[in-house]
């Protein structure tokens, strides 16, 4: 039996509400993680992006986060002062500076403590889905991330006008 337009609209609206809840609780979780690490939420997520990339220029990090280059300089300054990152000159082009996460076993241990239980809980949730369902969920999340990136860029550009 196919769903009627009002039924589908109601489900889509419910999905929007779930998305709002997911966004709110994701921000609150990462704020708590950041506080545990002695960072603010923006600096924590910038460090996460940087750690996964390995090395980025300030401009690349600004582009990934949607922050202005001025704002990202402040983020990098705070992370460097806290001992999380270092600026490294490019040996081929001394004008270019790469930002790299500092290997810190104490920080890695703190992250493992914070995220270990979370990852186990997420795995527990995911175990209840088939591979096909997980593929659909993955596709949905990837497309949602693309929308979030585009909307972040749009909002920041509108603010600059």
pLDDT digits 0-9 by tens, 110-147 = 778 888 889 999 999 999 999 999 999 999 999 998 99
- Mean confidence (pLDDT) of the chain: 89
Interatomic CA distance for residues 57 and 70, integer angstroms: 13
Are 31 and 41 within 8 A, CB to CB? yes
Looking at residue 113, its pLDDT comes to 84
What percent of the chain has pLDDT above 70? 98
pLDDT (average), residues 70-91:
93
pLDDT at 138: 94
pTM of the entire predicted model: 0.75
pLDDT band at 156 (very low <50, low <70, confident <90, very high): confident
Judge residue 114's burial from the number of C-beta atoms within 10 Å of its C-beta, 0-12 exposed, 13-18 middle, 19 or more buried: middle
b/e burial code for range 39-66 (CB count within 10 A of at least 16 → b): bebbbbbbbeebbeeeebebebbbebbb
Domain 5-128 bears CATH identifier 3.30.300.30? no
26-39: pLDDT as tens digits = 999 999 999 988 89
């Amino acid at each position: 039996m196919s769903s009627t337009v009002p039924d589908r609209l109601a489900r889509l609206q419910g999905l929007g509400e779930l998305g709002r809840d997911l966004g709110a609780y994701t921000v609150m979780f990462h704020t708590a993680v950041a506080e545990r690490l002695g960072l603010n939420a923006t600096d924590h997520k910038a460090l996460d992006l940087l750690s996964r990339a390995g090395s980025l220029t300030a401009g690349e990090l600004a582009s990934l986060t949607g922050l202005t280059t001025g704002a990202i300089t402040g983020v990098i300054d705070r992370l460097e002062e806290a001992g999380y990152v270092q600026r490294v000159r490019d040996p081929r082009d001394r004008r270019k500076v790469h930002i790299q996460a500092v290997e810190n076993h104490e920080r890695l241990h703190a992250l493992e403590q914070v995220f270990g239980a979370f990852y186990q809980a997420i795995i527990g949730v995911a175990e209840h889905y088939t591979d096909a369902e997980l593929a659909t969920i993955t596709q949905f999340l990837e497309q949602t991330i693309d929308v979030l990136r585009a909307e972040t860029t749009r909002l920041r550009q509108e603010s600059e006008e």
